Chains A and B, each alone.
Chain A
Amino acid sequence: MKTRYPLPVFILFAALCSYAFNTQAATAPIKVSSLAEVEVEVVESGKKIIRRGTPDKAVPGTEVIFTDTFENVSDKAAGDIVINNPIPENMKYKGGSAFCTNCAIVFSADGGKTFDVAENLKLRGADGKLHTALPGQYTHIRWSYQGQLAAGKSGEVGFRAVIN
């Protein structure tokens, strides 16, 4: 399906994009990067060990580990750090897998409109009643970093999800 946009929309969009990239590349005091990995069992020196690697056999049912690493590259401490990560399309969140250090974790099951801790997260079922949302129904994860992230320090949050 082809959709025509007026030229000004393109120009505005391009300008916004280049501005965003430039500012982030040049001056963003916090760097954040996302990584997708799978666990693979390898045999080394006769022992089976689990290593992480790029998702090479990512068939439905495969569990993928997503890690968001953030680093304060400025010379000042940063506070009120909140990381938002939508569950990727075509994947289901694996219950209990969200991890971080020194932070609080809440979830959304309504596309990011409302967030709560897992046990309080409700979703209206087909019967019209509110039920506790199942991990596979989560749409977003939000981590709130406690306290300040000192200059030069980094942190890590992440979760596991299974390919539908």
Chain B
Amino acid sequence: MYCSDKSTVHSVNPQQISACRSVARVRQKFDVRTLLPVICAGLLLLVPQLCRAVGTPAGTIISNSATLNYVIGISPPSTTTSNTALFRVDEILSPVLTWQDGASVSVNSPGSNDVLTFLLSNSGNGTEAFGLTRTNGPTPLPLGNYAPLNGSIGSIYLESGLLAGFQASGPSADTIYVAGTNEPVLAPDASMTIYVVSDTPGVASNAHGVVVLGAASMTVGAAGAAPGTALAGLGQGGGYAVVGGARAQANATGNYVASGMGFVMNKTVLAVLDTQGTAVVMPGAVLTYQIVATLSGAGTASNLMVTDPLPINTTYVPGSIMLNGVSKTDAADADQAQFIGATQTVSVSLGNVAAPANTVITFRATIN
């Protein structure tokens, strides 16, 4: 009996569909062809419902009707059906932004084009476009924090979907965001990764750079309006667009941290060669020293210089300095390395070194 009820036609409940099927089997007079559209409509409606997490899509028409059975006098039981009460599901505007990096992103100071990663999600029930803005060093800026600068290659990028992670160029390049041109459009429950790209001014080590990314619904009159504000005709499907609890906008704060480098030097005796050709430490034996200088973290070490005075009772083997496997002269010239006779010191000027980096220095000395 419910299969002929008009409110059942709108049903997507699988149990109801199977119930209708069994009724069709029992009642031979009931032509299965008339039931087909019911089943098809039900199955079609079932698909979006399974994919849905944020609620009924805006624009959906919800209908209700009742049937009433009664008996009057000796007449057989009769049935009457109500009108169908209809209303449209309106659109709630509710963007969500989250910062994805988990920890402050280490940057050089000064530096360029370092990336903060955000995720923009549409937790509303209609497809919506969102405008993006960034605020560098929002006030009040706590002491020790700084305002990053918009990246020299671009300020905000949208994930192209071709390759995860930020690509400024190349075949999988992400898309630079231009306000008023390519606002991200998100279906209900959909998300998009947004990259904020910044240059870093000259700041103190360990200073934090703060950027706030903002997203605002592009529906006219929605962003910033009081929660619950209903904008007639502007919702998906022609109904109301209703401003969500966060005023149809969202903010998330991301952080950079300037430099913060670690520097470790490790000196070992790599090899011993005695006068007999074996490895006994004795007068006349030649020691090969190795210094590994490791720069960790992020940032650039300026004018990095490694100096190593020779141990007493040893004599430097002339021309034995090697830097990363390449021989260097002992003279104070342009080849970075020198042996300073007056102080019996091996000295290597590495200049500006970007972390992380490994530098290997070897030289030889003879035991007196």
Contact = CB atoms under 8 A, between A and B. Distances in A.
A binds B: yes
B33 interface: yes
Contact of A86 (B5, B52, B89, B90): B5
A33 B83 contact: yes
Interface stretch (B66-74, B160-168, B249-257): B66-74
A107 interface: no
A131 interface: no
Contacts, number: 169
Contact of B19 (A36, A58, A64, A112): A112
A14 to B, nearest CB: 13
Contact of B55 (A79, A157, A164): A164
A105 B125 CA distance: 34
A147 interface: no
Please classify how large the interface on chain B is, using the bins under 10, 10 to 19, 20 to 34, 35 or more: 35 or more
Nearest to A66: B64
Contact of A82 (B8, B58, B68): B68
Given A34-B66, A58-B239, 8 more contacts: A3-B36, A34-B84, A35-B85, A59-B89, A68-B68, A81-B70, A86-B5, A89-B45
A101 interface: no
Contacts of B56: 60, 90, 163-164
Interface of B: 2, 5, 7-8, 10-13, 15-19, 31, 33-34, 36-37, 40, 44-45, 49, 52, 54-56, 58, 60, 62-73, 77-78, 80-92, 125, 228, 230, 239-240, 242
Question: Shortest 4 CB-CB distances between A and B: which pairs?
Answer: A60-B55, A111-B16, A111-B15, A59-B92
Contact of A85 (B66, B87, B92): B66
A66 B86 CA distance: 11
Nearest to A164: B56
Nearest to B19: A111
